[in-house]
Structure 1
Amino acid sequence: MSVHADPLEDVLALVGASSSFSAGLVAGGDWAVSFAPAAAVKFNAVRRGSCLLLVEDTVVELSPGDCFLLTRPVPFTLASDLSLPTIPAGVIFAGADLARAGAGDDVFLLGGRFDFGERAQELLLDALPPVVHVPSAAAGAVRWALDQIEAELRDRPLAATLVAEHLALVMLIHVLRWRLTAAPPATGWLAGLGDPVVGPALRLMHGRPAYAWTVAELASQVAVSRSTLAARFRRVVGQGPLDYLTRWRIELAAGRLRRDDGTVAAIARSVGYGSESALSNAFKRVTGMSPRAYRSSRADRS
């Protein structure tokens, strides 16, 4: 009866993700480059050599094959020695296909960005640390994706940029998989994905969000008692199963409203509300505005 879905896939599809590449960075000798905060999620991969990364008060040693994501708009520095004076990245990257710092070419970094929709920070990025460092030895799938990206951008076969951008999204998913396995969040829906009780319940609700789930039926499907599921779900995710379901339904409805995809009544039926007024009441309780006001405000922004 029940359809099991993939909550991570659902959230990535809802928030939308696109990737783009900046110029690579070749460096050698003594060098230090400072980068201004970016609204997007920044990523860099060390394809040759090694260097240091400074983000706020965190220093990360980057070895060949390592990569990192910055999930917050914060300044950062890449350097051979963090005590050196820095050159602003805008100076060396302006109009360059390949930026250069210092003297020599013993270090090569490939960099770019991921852009997400407006709900990504709360739904996904806030559950991750400001810096996600992926050592080369830890994630073979990430390393494979980076090898393919570098080959596309180096050799420039037909549609190389498009292929590289799609590969970057593959790399992002592998990074998220690795992070969730290596250091899962303590709480939140991402933490619930790996829980043997909460994870199956999440997949059931994502598989059929419009279904009139009860805690008792979810518990039966997961083969635990109602009280066990309710307590464990609240402890891991931070809210009860039906509260989570309500908020996920509202996220789905909001996504359709942002895309201007259907009438409010049709959207209400698609996410499990029997009427437009029922959706409006729930939507206003969660977001503070009615579906029609939400749609209008997004239209005004665009």
Structure 2
Amino acid sequence: MDVQQADPLEEVLALVGTTGHLSIGLVAGGEWAMSFEPPPAVKFNAVRRGRCLLTVEGVPGPIELAEGDCFLLTQPRAFTLASGPGVRPVPAGPVFLAATDGVARVGADEDVALIGGRFDFGERAKELLLDVLPPVIHVPGRTAEAATVRWALDQIDAELRDRPLASTLVAEHLALVMLIHLLRLHLAGAGTGEASGWLAGLADPVVAPALRAMHGRPAHAWTVAELAGVAAVSRSTLAARFKHVVGQGPLEYLTGWRMELATDRLRRGDDTVAAIAREVGYGSESALSSAFKRITGTSPRDYRRRLRSVDR
């Protein structure tokens, strides 16, 4: 059988509608510390000059950030940036409100410079992506693996400094490039913490081929034996490994992904429920409706009707 391979990370990022936004930069020096409220979106910062200390609520120990380092805060947790330990922080809000020329300043000098921003996602991002990531991902910038991240940051700096036409749009697209590379580096083991769920499966040599096959042909009537053949292992080995790494069996995962695809089509398009059923691997509207209601608690038609009433 000709097995189509897909990129689950690309598909999930597209499904949750990822957008990047840059925020006011930060310049600091001397002894300084700033406390930040839990951000409502996924937060990122990159150290462009100097070094500082990051402390995140609920994460044991501070994280030392050097020039070129990036961090991604995937959960709404309070955090502190400081010149070093033991400095009493000031609230970040008033400092950023007083920013001039797109830069906030704290402390007595300009030893440290950071750029940052946020990533916004659609309604399914928490369960599909953010819950399978650690609360903070730190990627050291001075490694060979982080070369593309450094390139993206250099380009963002140039866009913000020189302000050519459409510079904000270009910089925000570059921030998305940076996000994808941060996630790649995390999967490759360059970041701190461990992935879980399907994201961990992408880093597993046995599970990854099966995941890519299911994403490549979600409408196919996959069996565990077929998926095991794709992964070149026995049926029992794949079933056990998939359950251990991803947290659910391969066919259970496939059903969940089909429901995500169906939900996305119901939300974004006008196809009939019967047409959507065929696209995601169900032979009839009633078969999709039964599975959809079992997993989401509502029927496809009621789900679409509710969405449209909210949009009015």
TM-score by length of 2: 0.92
Question: Aligned pair 1:299/2:296, yes or no?
Answer: no
**Residue type of the alignment partner of 1:80:** S
Question: Aligned pair 1:156/2:163, yes or no?
Answer: yes
In the other structure, the counterpart of 1:22 is 23
Q: Residues 36 and 186 from structure 1, CA distance in 2 versus in 1: closer, same or farther, beyond 3 angstroms? A: closer
Show the 5 A alignment for 1:264-275. 264-275=273-284
Q: Give how far 1:205 is off.
A: 0.5
- The two structures, once aligned, show a CA RMSD in angstroms of 1.6
In the other structure, the counterpart of 1:114 is 119
Aligned-partner Cα distance in 1 for 2:271–2:39: 34
In the other structure, the counterpart of 1:87 is 90
Question: Aligned pair 1:165/2:172, yes or no?
Answer: yes
CA contact 1:142–1:175 (8 Å) conserved in 2: yes
**Residue type of the alignment partner of 2:32:** W
* Runs of 4+, deviation exceeding 6 Å: none
Aligned residues: 302
Question: Aligned pair 1:225/2:228, yes or no?
Answer: no
CA contact 1:149–1:168 (8 Å) conserved in 2: yes
Q: Residues 292 and 242 from structure 1, CA distance in 2 versus in 1: closer, same or farther, beyond 3 angstroms? A: same
In the other structure, the counterpart of 1:5 is 6
**Residue type of the alignment partner of 1:229:** L
In the other structure, the counterpart of 1:99 is 104
Question: Aligned pair 1:132/2:141, yes or no?
Answer: no
CA contact 2:133–2:196 (8 Å) conserved in 1: no
Show the 5 A alignment for 1:229-240. 229-240=238-249
TM-score by length of 1: 0.95
Identity over the aligned pairs, expressed in percent? 70
Unaligned runs of 5+ in 2: none
Aligned-partner Cα distance in 2 for 1:27–1:301: 45
Which region of structure 1 is more displaced relative to structure 2, 219-228 or 36-45? 219-228
1:204-230 deviation digits (Å, cap 9, x = unpaired): 110010111111222223322222222
1:148-179 deviation digits (Å, cap 9, x = unpaired): 11111111112111111111111001000100
CA contact 1:260–1:295 (8 Å) conserved in 2: no
Show the 5 A alignment for 1:183-194. 185=194, 187-194=196-203
